[in-house]
Chains A and B, each alone.
Chain A
Amino acid sequence: MASRYDVELVQVTKRYGTAVAVDGISLRVPAASYCCLLGPSGCGKTSTLRMIAGHEAISDGDILIQDLNVSNLPSVRRGTSMMFQSYALFPHISCLDNVAFSLRVRGVPKKERNAKAQEYLDLVHMSDFAKRLPSQLSGGQQQRVALARSLITRPKVLLLDEPLSALDPFLRVRMREELKRLQRELGISFIHVTHSQEEAMALADLMVVMEDGHIRQAATPRAIFEEPASAFIARFIGGHNVLPWDSGMIAVRADRCSLGSTGDNPRLAGHVTAVEYQGPVVRVAVATDAGLEAVAVVSDRDFYRSPVGPGDVATVSWLQAEAHQLAH
């Protein structure tokens, strides 16, 4: 029977000397899911990925891949494959040889491994570049080759370390779609480390927000966006106003705020500090005299009905029901 979870982390800890990089985290990644580890730099997300890959020893705890405890197994026997942030293509051999590398070290005959490698280059639309050296390719093309090299090992779990961070924004969105398509078609789990909440939201079935070596929240992107567990998460995933209120800290989505006030809705009055036109919406930042800041993202139609500029008096208000109470 297929296992319910592709990856399970049980109280996994990583210590470097006395510094704790990952502090007893537990996580279950359901079968065939796209999981994003999200967090600011130094939060332990890359250490976690490298421990799953077997490139970093676990200080404490266990890692299971499809019900097999792999904590003490070498990388190659874990059924994982890692795609490196720098791509780490071997510079002295052709793309085809790079992709065929893992077959070569397993002793697969040349003809057979080249045919297989060609097949995987096809999968990432790079078959025309088989004979080139990595240095003769653009960053995006190198990434595709690296992806083919990782996939040819037929991993149970593909591990991606900030795979899109080196690409330009346009390419990033295209590659993002492609990663998601491949994950769906191959039916395996991807674990993708990123510091971009936009990327994580676009891709993840399971979004894991990390801070300071801990998992702060793990859920679907929608659940996290609708109900961030803490002020840190609300701020980190963006799009929220985090405000101290009568009942404690609250988070209010900026796109659910409006300018001006109606009735006795909660509000924040102050002066406009910035106006950004973003096409379909306009982003208006308002600061109170007490130093609180709130952002209203309003539709361009609403904004231009009664436009405001920096320095103008303005009020940001929202419906009581839109305020989300934060734990701390």
Chain B
Amino acid sequence: MTLLQTIGFRGQAEQREKAPFRLSPRMVSWLQVGPLAVVLIALFALPTVLFLVVSFFDYDRVGIYPAFMLDNYQDLLTTPSTLRVYISSLKFGLIVWSITLFLGFNIAYFLVFHVRRPMVRTVLFLLCAIPFWTSGIIRTIAWIPFLGRNGAFNQALMALHLTDKPLEFLLFSDFSVIITYVHLFTLLMIGPIANSWAKIDPALLEAARDSGASRWQTMYLVVIPLAKTGIALGSILVFTQVMGDYFVVRQMSGGQSASIVSMLSTEIQAMQYPPASANAMVLVLFVAIMVACMMRVVDVRKELVK
């Protein structure tokens, strides 16, 4: 008895001596946030600040010189081509956004509400996702032999005697740019929308029907409001992707359209870093404003915390 007590007592005492190394909750929080914060600061915040600084610099054909002048912005905002490129990108953005929204909404609805067997659903989701394991560049280029003048699609049309001569608008046109964007980005819309519906209790749809709601009423009073977060997230993803694109427009428009980033890249190739920086800052600001507008419609952060 006394022996046990002694051992027990000593055990406790030893534990107490070893215990003191403990991080404060504050410290733990910092450690958790730390790694991502370092990455974001080093790879995002600092470069952005650098661009901001350089965008005010002076330059000539030989080098760049520290200065504080607004000429780069003035040149950019007064060149007619800037407005043209922004309108063109915005046009692509809106068209692609509406097509991917329509497709994504319907595909997600089908996957979540119509497919009943989990196995089938998983297989269908994989079918959507697997193409994304190859690079976007390859998936973009893959359209060229399909849509080209002597491509698979034109040959098939002619073989079926639907047309006499190859359709010219298929490739190197707005059409081919849009079809490639839609192909690349529809999944970005399907994912968030399907995700916000997956959390819905199926009894909600029955409850709506029980209350006398028609299909359409159920759709716009229950189903769509519950997909709001997903639609907002998907829209932001698709829109920012299109606005920041460089490769698709260059490859698929055949030089007929320019994107904001291709304008930027031309400047970089000419080593005109200050105007390129100014251009980048304006693009960031523009996209940030567009995203802020979308966030005003749906408070994504609040919805995600739920």
Contacts and interface: CB of A to CB of B under 8 A. Distances in A.
B213 A90 contact: no
Nearest to A85: B203
B226 A92 contact: yes
Interface string A85-118: 1101111110000000110111000000000000
A208 interface: no
Contact of A101 (B206, B208, B214, B306): B208
Contact of B222 (A53, A80, A90, A106): A90
Interface string B287-303: 00000000000000000
B186 to A, nearest CB: 26
Given A101-B221, A104-B221, A105-B217, A88 B212 contact: no
A88 B217 CA distance: 17
Contacts of B222: 90
Interface string B211-231: 111100100011001101000
Nearest to B228: A92
Contacts of B221: 90, 101, 104-105
Interface in B74-123: none
B201 interface: yes
B165 interface: no
Given A90-B222, A91-B226, A92-B226, A55 B210 contact: yes
A182 interface: no
A149 interface: yes
A65 to B, nearest CB: 14
Interface residues of A, number: 26
B112 to A, nearest CB: 16
B204 interface: yes
How many interface residues does chain B have, given as a range?
10 to 19
Contact of A76 (B209, B225, B226, B306): B209
Main secondary structure of the interface of B (DSSP, over half): helix
Contacts of B45: none
Interface in B178-199: none
A81 interface: yes
A201 B206 CA distance: 29
A82 B212 contact: no
A86 B208 contact: no
Nearest to B209: A75
A236 interface: no
B40 interface: no
B210 A86 contact: no
A84 B207 contact: yes
Contact of B203 (A75, A76, A84, A153): A84
A19 to B, nearest CB: 16
A105 B211 contact: yes
Nearest to B203: A88
Contacts of A81: 210-211
Contacts of A88: 201, 203-204, 206-207
A102 B208 CA distance: 8
B214 A105 contact: yes
Contacts of B214: 105
A92 B225 CA distance: 7
A76 B212 contact: yes
A55 B206 contact: yes
A84 B211 CA distance: 12
A55 to B, nearest CB: 5
Contacts of A92: 225-226, 228
B210 A82 contact: yes
A135 B206 CA distance: 19
Given A76-B209, A82-B207, A150-B210, 5 more contacts: A82-B206, A88-B207, A90-B207, A91-B226, A105-B211
